[in-house]
């Protein structure tokens, strides 16, 4: 079943002590345009996230929002600058000798107060693991996102299907009425010729020839056949699991073209009204297809 281009999905998981939240939302767009907004600390995973989106979405303006609370994942390391601490200790012991035997000598507590003796650093993160965690949460958000698009797509398919049936019904009305217009033209032509010639003796062959010319001029068999073919193809596309928005948009333009041709060929008032109704359905269907992926 077709999917809508618009949708929203959200997922939140805790992975490797990181609280990760990913939101995905999309609106209509002719092509796929994906934007990822995330903390600069994790920008290294942007390409991987975009690749995930490209596998799940074929077109639309897609925005991905990523937030990460990694406070629980922060692992700090305390290191001792042994060389510097040794120099401080030697200096303190030297001062103690100058001050006398009773002077205060170097202790760990004293040395720890000097700058750069102790350094606190954050442990390096495994970038591949972090990227995999972000992608996993994105996959969950995309699943919710696609589920919503599927529900909306089902509504679109139902509406478009109803309009396709209306178009087929109007096509049937044109097919039924078109031969009647030729017969009416032949009858009117005979009456006019009788009126002009003031005689009941009219060359039947002349009437048949004129009627045949008129019938060929207003014939819409080719257009109605193509209309039915396009409608059948559109119905098949509605049942496809592949993205069909662009193809459907192209076919609807063809349907509109056939309707315009029928309208220009037929001068009959009733057919003209049917064509107006048909084009109205085509226009409504075109608006709906603009939402199809």
State what percent of residues in the chain have pLDDT above 70.
Answer: 80
Q: Residue 200 pLDDT > 60, yes or no?
A: no
Average pLDDT of span 125-136:
90
Q: Residue 188 pLDDT > 70, yes or no?
A: no
Helix (H) or strand (E) holding 79: strand 76-80
Q: Indicate the fold that domain 7-72+125-149 takes in CATH.
A: Ribosomal Protein S5; domain 2 (3.30.230)
- Tens of pLDDT, residues 202-241: 566 665 665 555 555 556 777 888 899 999 999 999 988 8
pLDDT of residue 220: 74
Q: How far is CA 203 from the centre of its chain?
A: 65
Q: Where in the chain is the domain with CATH 3.30.230.10?
A: 7-72+125-149
pTM for the structure as a whole: 0.69
- Tens of pLDDT, residues 17-34: 889 999 999 999 989 999
Average pLDDT of span 135-144:
96
Long-range contacts of 227-235, Cβ-Cβ distance < 8 Å, separation of 24 or more: 227/167, 227/168, 227/171, 227/255, 227/258, 227/259, 228/168, 228/171, 230/254, 230/255, 230/258, 231/164, 231/167, 231/168, 231/171, 231/255, 234/160, 234/164, 235/161, 235/164
């Amino acid at each position: 079943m077709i999917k809508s281009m618009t949708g929203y999905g959200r997922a939140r998981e805790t992975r490797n002590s990181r609280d990760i939240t990913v939101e995905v939302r999309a609106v209509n767009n002719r092509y796929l345009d994906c934007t990822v907004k995330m903390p600069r600390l994790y920008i290294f995973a942007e390409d991987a996230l975009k690749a995930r989106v490209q596998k799940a979405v074929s077109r639309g303006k897609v925005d991905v929002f990523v937030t990460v609370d990694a406070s629980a994942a922060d692992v700090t390391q305390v290191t001792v600058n042994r060389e510097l601490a040794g120099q401080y200790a030697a200096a303190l012991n030297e001062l103690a000798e100058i001050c006398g035997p009773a002077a205060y000598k170097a202790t760990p507590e004293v040395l720890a107060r000097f700058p750069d003796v102790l350094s606190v650093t954050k442990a390096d993160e495994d970038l591949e693991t972090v990227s995999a965690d972000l992608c996993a949460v994105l996959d969950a958000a995309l699943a919710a996102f696609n589920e919503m698009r599927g529900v909306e797509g089902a509504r679109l398919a139902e509406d478009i299907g109803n309009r396709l049936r209306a178009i087929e019904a109007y096509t049937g009305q044109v097919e039924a009425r078109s031969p009647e217009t030729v017969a009416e033209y032949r009858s009117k032509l005979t009456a006019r010729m009788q009126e002009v010639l003031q005689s009941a003796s009219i060359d039947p062959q002349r009437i048949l020839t004129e009627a045949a010319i008129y019938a060929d001029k207003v014939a819409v068999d080719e257009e109605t056949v193509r209309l039915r073919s396009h409608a059948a193809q559109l119905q098949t596309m509605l049942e496809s699991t592949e993205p069909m928005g662009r193809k459907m948009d192209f076919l609807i333009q063809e349907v509109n073209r056939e309707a315009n041709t029928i309208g220009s060929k037929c001068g009959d008032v009733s057919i003209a009204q049917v064509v107006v109704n048909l084009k109205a359905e085509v226009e409504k269907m075109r608006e709906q297809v603009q939402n199809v992926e």
